[in-house]
Structure 1
């Protein structure tokens, strides 16, 4: 819905996930709820590459629903004084510093609770596909090799195996609970070297090298930061078992991708399953795509009907809340928001 009224609250949809009709790559996200709340929406101009938005495009909007990973920094929002809210459709906020935005009076929200279960299920799906060599057996069947190769691709199963979860936030801990009935031992690695949630679940927290060496399956569920970019490198893969599988559902930037490809090609590890890459989209001739021991999905494995339902509800709730000059529970960096800088007319928590 569009409106030219400067008095109306207007939300901009990023063109990397929506079109002029309000249709999105996730399906119906409930824009009618905005309209029912008296909030207009517009489609923002397309942004080439992975660059920041044009401040001029933000001049007429109070909030942005960002479907991809468009960067927002203090300089950008300073040049768009009407903007008060950036709402990420998902949990990640790569390229956005929530504290920097908060200091400029702009709220950043995301949807971690809505993403937690679908993303953890994605990790479990890829783990089980590796454990049962699902893709290899699929190829045998459809390739007419039933008689010659029916038993040639036996999986390793999961009973008695060790799963190392790298990053033990909400997704990692959810995955650990899903794995609990399957007879596996779960170990974890965290940035701080400790985790209250892991302690509650009775899960051992180990250093990264130990996790690599002990795990039959490594599942990456960590957030990407400038400090940990490329941390999963040649040394990490060399520490893994030759029979182990590497699974990444977090961010491609955590991995030195050429090192992973080399490890897979040389048999240093048994296989991998990847939903994320660096860069995205990956090049069509990426060597990982030619490997029979790699499962690749397009950073969309968790995009299920319940994902769309729950993330949409969380995003729209946040937009409506901020439009009413209130700070939603999903706000990031809220400790840096100050009544003197908050762009909401009523101040933080105002009416």
Structure 2
């Protein structure tokens, strides 16, 4: 048998094995949302580690279509959902998914999941904040450095052989400048650690006005208005909630220095995009670095695409091999824990464990 024939035979056998594992009967079945995964389990993020499920006797399948919300018939007989994106799980879905015991969110955000409804329905919801902390902080640092060095404009000058214009694009200062982190939590703390060796001062803002690492990191926690007025770079890391939607609007932008930059690595809806466009057109801030938008993707005629002082990334700046490896390991770990009757890490609705609905689902699983 030739080498090519052997490889083809091996590949076919592997495909058959995967298909059999995914389709075989099992007391615990996982549905993977189709917004970021293909039918064979491969993903735009890379290897999701689904073989760990098969190795533990857990069957899995990718949902047949990217439909939001997920059709109820697709959740029949499904004990866990690996949610790769921002598909909504509200009461209309979870109240009619009697087999569902877990929604494992790939990543940190969970604004599209109704935690109260999941708790009432006896469904555990988890995310992966520890795994995403460093990649997201590095994404913020990347945008900050690109803006401070006017990298986008310099890239254009180089590509168009317009070197004579480079004198107009000197970089902004870094040492001694102030970075204000809005939504100062685990990602903000990690970003502060990365910024310290560069000589940048960090101030923060969060809902509680406290953080266990703030003092050790030399981070002063301020009110939002004070942070905006003092910062040379404003980095948005806040979670999206009704209270934070359009947190940065015209009034907030007006409080920023005209020499300051806005960076958003949180959620697009944290910013009033119309107000941001106006601030950029009027030179009221120096520029922006954006990895998230409202809407996504940006429309082809959006003015944000035309600014030389705006660095853009398609909501993927933190997608690195280590990001996928760590986030996948955490999400799959949650599934394995629940399948084994154990409590997983990073539970977003811990009150679920005291509900009759959860107890009933656990009892049914033990039969």
TM-score (norm. length: structure 1): 0.94
SS of 2:322 mapped into structure 1 = helix
Q: 1:84 aligns with which of 80, 94, 101?
A: 101
Residue 219 of structure 2 corresponds to 203
Q: Which residue of structure 1 lines up, in the alignment, with residue 244 of structure 2?
A: 228
Give RMSD over aligned pairs. Answer: 1.8
Bigger mean CA offset, 263-272 vs 88-97: 88-97
2:131 counterpart SS class:
helix
- Aligned pairs for 1:296-307 (under 5 A) are 296-307=312-323
Return 5+ residue gaps in structure 1 as ranges.
none
- Does residue 345 (structure 1) correspond to residue 362 (structure 2)? The answer is yes
| Structure 2 residue aligned with 1:237 | 253
1:291 aligns to 2:310 (yes or no): no
From 115, 118, 126, give the equivalent of 2:132.
115
Question: Of 343, 346, 358, which residue of structure 2 is paired with 1:327?
Answer: 343
Number of residue pairs the alignment of both structures matches: 346
Structure 2 CA distance for aligned equivalents of residues 80 and 100 of structure 1: 12
Q: Which residue of 2 aligns with 1:65?
A: 82
CA distance in 2, matches of 1:287, 1:73: 34
Q: Which residue in the other structure is 1:172 paired with?
A: 188
* Equivalent of 1:14 in 20, 23, 33: 33
Task: Please identify which structure carries the higher helix content.
Answer: 2
The 3-state SS of whatever aligns with 2:354 is coil
1:23 paired to 2:42: yes
2:278 corresponds in structure 1 to: 262
Q: What is the aligned partner in structure 2 of residue 128 from structure 1?
A: 145
CA distance in structure 2 between the aligned counterparts of 1:21 and 1:3, rounded to whole angstroms: 12
User: What residue in structure 2 maps to residue 2 of structure 1?
Assistant: 22
> Where in structure 2 are there 5+ consecutive unaligned residues?
1-20
- Structure 2 length-normalised TM: 0.90
Moved over 6 A (4+): none
Distance 1:238 1:339 in 2: 47
Radius of gyration: which is bigger? 2
Equivalent in 172, 175, 179 of residue 163 of structure 1 = 179
Alpha-carbon contact 1:198-1:204 (below 8 Å) kept: yes
Moved more, 282-291 or 194-203: 194-203
Take 1:337 and 1:75, find their aligned partners in 2: how far apart are those partners?
21
Q: Displacement, 1:212?
A: 1.0
1:188 equivalent among 198, 204, 210 = 204
